[in-house]
Amino acid sequence: MFIRGETFKHWVEQGRTDECYTQKVENGCHVEVRAREQPDGDIEIFVSVYTATGQAVAERVKTLPGNEWNVEDALKRGIDQAERIAGGEAGRLPCADARAHANE
């Protein structure tokens, strides 16, 4: 179970349907990405990363211009961002693939 923050609660309160992607990554973290079209045509993505114990590491929302993005592509962008956070890019978590690159 994830310990959700205010960003997630605000996302849910709006009550619009979204496409959702979740994954448990190699280091035990969980990523969750959601994307939806807003009434004005823009695309909104919710990117979140949780530790193996469910603590929120990152929860953020980004709005992308609807004339340049669709829900599917926005979801892919969000997944990439979440995996980078979970992999330790921001220095918050141990790198998921550090063992694979130990000899490089």
Query: Which range of residues forms the domain containing residue 40?
Result: 6-92
99 assigned to some structural domain: no
**58 beta partners:** 49
Domain at 85, CATH number: 3.30.160
Q: Rounded to an integer, what distance in angstroms lies between the CA atom of residue 85 and that of residue 65?
A: 23
In a domain, 104, yes or no: no
Q: Print pLDDT tens along the chain (104 aa).
A: 899 999 999 999 999 999 999 999 888 999 999 999 999 999 999 999 999 999 999 999 999 999 999 999 999 999 999 999 988 764 444 444 444 434 43
- In this predicted structure, what is the pLDDT of residue 96? 44
Residue-level pLDDT at 55: 92
Domain-located, residue 47: yes
Domain count, the chain: 1
pLDDT of the residue at 74: 96
Q: Is residue 1 part of a domain?
A: no
User: Is 97 within a domain?
Assistant: no
Looking at residue 60, what DSSP letter applies? E
